[in-house]
Amino acid sequence: MHLFTHSIKNSIFTIIVFLGSFLISQAQSFEYKNSGTDFILYDISIPAGQNDLAFAAGSKFTFDTEGIIIKTTDGGETWTTIYPTSGTSPSFEKIEFIDENTGFVAGYDLFMKTEDGGATWTEMTGGTDVYLYNNLSFYDENIGFVSAQLDDAPYFAVYLTTDGGDTWTPASDVLNAGGINIDYADQSTLFSVGADERIAKSTDGGDTWAQIYSGQIQNYFLSVNFKDGDNGVIAGEDGLLKTTHDGGATWSDFATGYHHFYALAYKGNQLMAGGTDTDIYFSEDNGANWSQIFVGNGQNQLYEIGFFDDGSGLICGSGGVIMRFEDVFLGTEENQLPQNEIVSFYNSKTQTFHVQSENDNIQSVAVFNIMGQLVKTFKNNSNSFSVNTSSFSNGVYLVKVATKNQTQSLKFLKQ
């Protein structure tokens, strides 16, 4: 089901070269890490509430070959293969940890659970006649699903759990579900995507599905990510990114004409999409406008994004690619930094950057461009600060906020 691009279109290449000097300056937010493998890392899972532990899983080649599970305990700096410890394993498509010890991994005719952080694994049975478990997700520690491609009709199934994976029950009607990717919007609402540009929605926790959109026959939607019941993004072929803000009733489109985006994230009003050539696109305004913020190595495909508790995160991809990012999603309404008790938000409509400190007065604010050149400094004597950026050139800005007891670095994108 996974689709790849094998050539670079001349027009896109020309654009990348032209913009390279600007875009590559933003690469400081993204850093390649050595995963210790050259396998295709299809999925990454970061247990909630910490900043060090993560797991990734994948396959030696595109389809059913050898599989691997790797683990980091230092925020992605170093990685260790934890499965298989000897011999070979079937390949994996998805991995999900619901806490630091309890996790699940799904792949070709193999569905396993660990309760000791990946030291040992026990095979599980989600359903019968399964040749591939291709989706796996938990809404919380109890509620989750795994989906599967079957050998015989109906050829696709979704299995649900409400007890943390101890038992699994087949969904009653998945005829209209898209079989490629599924995501929770809230506890009861899920969206799925698949072949013929199908979008389906479930409002009963994944038990039944209704098709809400279909597009071009024989084209695929590749990935879906919803931050809540209303707001989501879907990726299709040729760089298509579709966003909705009304639960899938209407959609807005953006397309690069080139990439396949699998890695999607949606936080606050900001979205990130990673895909072909390790290129990364970003939207500051709920998907209304997109810009490329990272020019990749031209070789690998990005597949999944995971977040640590402090807002930094990891992206995995083909060729064993692991990338760590920091300070990318700063400036969203949801981005509170509890360790520094400072919240920031950039309003793209009013072109105003806001900072709020919960405990201390903000004493000074310094704004730098992406090259590190000072743009403007401000004195302040309250726990809030705002600046209108309409006179600033478009681009990424770094902001140093100083209170009596701390200094915090923030970031926003003006376009």
Do 250 and 358 belong to one domain?
no
pLDDT at site 126 = 86
Residue 295 has pLDDT above 50, yes or no: yes
pLDDT in tens, 186-239: 999 999 999 999 999 999 999 999 999 999 999 999 999 999 999 999 999 999
Phi, psi of 413 (to 5 degrees): -115, 120
One domain, residues 165 and 304: yes
pLDDT per position as a tens digit, 354-400: 888 877 889 999 998 877 789 999 999 898 899 999 999 988 788 88
pLDDT, residue 331, reads 52
At 16, list the tokens: 């990348």
Q: Does 353 lie in the same domain as 288? A: no
Tell me, yes or no, whether 392 lies in a domain.
yes
> Exposure pattern of 215-242 as b/e (b: 16+ CB <10 Å)?
eeeeebbbbbbbbebebbbbbbbebbbb
173-185 pLDDT, tens digit each: 999 999 999 999 9
| Same structural domain, 266 and 386 | no
pLDDT recorded at residue 345: 72
pLDDT in tens, 34-91: 999 999 999 999 999 999 999 999 999 988 899 999 999 999 999 999 999 999 999 9
Q: Which of 2-11, 34-43, 121-130, 159-168 has the lowest mean pLDDT?
A: 2-11
The CATH number covering residue 381 comes to 2.60.40.3080
Sequence-separated (6 or more) residues with CB below 8 Å from residue 80: 36, 70, 71, 72
| 196 and 295 part of one domain | yes
pLDDT given at position 97? 98
In the predicted model, is pLDDT for residue 19 greater than 80? no
Averaged pLDDT for residues 126-131: 91
Question: Are 377 and 398 members of one domain?
Answer: yes
Residue 56 in tokens:
């990734």
Residue 1 inside a domain? The answer is no
Whichever domain contains 97, its CATH number is: 2.130.10.10
* Number of Cβ within a 10 Å radius of residue 13: 14
Higher pLDDT, 193 or 289: 193
Residues whose CB falls within 8 Å of the CB of residue 58, separated by 6 or more in sequence, listed in order: 37, 39, 40, 41, 42, 43, 67, 68, 91, 92, 316
pLDDT at 103: 98
The reply to whether 35 and 184 lie within a common domain is yes
222 belongs to a structural domain? yes
The range of the structural domain enclosing residue 42 comes to 10-325
pLDDT for 343 equals 67
Are 249 and 362 in the same domain? no
pLDDT at 84: 97
By the 8 A CB rule, do 47 and 53 touch? Answer: yes
- Residue 7: per-residue pLDDT: 34
Name the pLDDT band for 169 (thresholds 50, 70, 90).
Answer: very high
Residue 6 predicted with pLDDT over 50: no
Q: Region of 196 please: left (phi>0), alpha (psi -120 to 50) or beta.
A: left
10 has pLDDT over 70: no
Question: Is 2 among the domain residues?
Answer: no
Last residue of a domain, one of 300, 325, 350: 325
Query: Letter for the amino acid at 132?
Result: L
The reply to whether 17 and 122 lie within a common domain is yes
Q: Cα(77)–Cα(205) distance, rounded to whole angstroms?
A: 37
Amino acid at 69: I
| 4 within domain boundaries | no
Query: What mean pLDDT is predicted for residues 113-137?
Result: 95
Q: For residues 231 and 74, give the distance between their C-alpha atoms in angstroms, rounded to a whole number.
A: 32
Do 294 and 352 lie in one domain? The reply is: no
109 and 198 belong to one structural domain = yes
The pLDDT tens digits of the residues spanning 93-116 come to 999 999 999 999 999 999 999 999
Q: Tell me how far apart the alpha carbons of residues 258 and 105 are, in angstroms, rounded to a whole number.
A: 31
**pTM over cut 0.85:** no
Q: Per residue, what are the HEC states of the chain?
A: CCCCCCCCCHHHHHHHHHHHHHHHHHHHHEEEECCCCCCEEEEEECCCCCCCCEEEEEECCCCCCEEEEEEECCCCCCCEEEECCCCCCECEEEEEECCCCCEEEEECCEEEEECCCCCCCEECCCCCCEEEEEEEEECCCCCEEEEEEECCCCCEEEEEECCCCCCCEECCECCCCCCCEEEECCCCCEEEEEECCEEEEECCCCCECEEEECCCCCCEEEEEEECCCCCEEEEEHHHEEEEECCCCCCCEEEECCCCCEEEEEEECCEEEEEEECCCEEEECCCCCCCEEEECCCCCCEEEEEEECCCCCEEEEEHHHCEEEECCCCCCCCCCEECCCCEEEEEECCCCEEEEEECCCCEEEEEEEECCCCEEEEEEEEECEEEEECCCCCCEEEEEEEEECCCEEEEEEEEC
In a domain, 330, yes or no: no
pLDDT at 24 over 50: no
**Domain total in the chain:** 2
Same domain? 298 vs 345: no
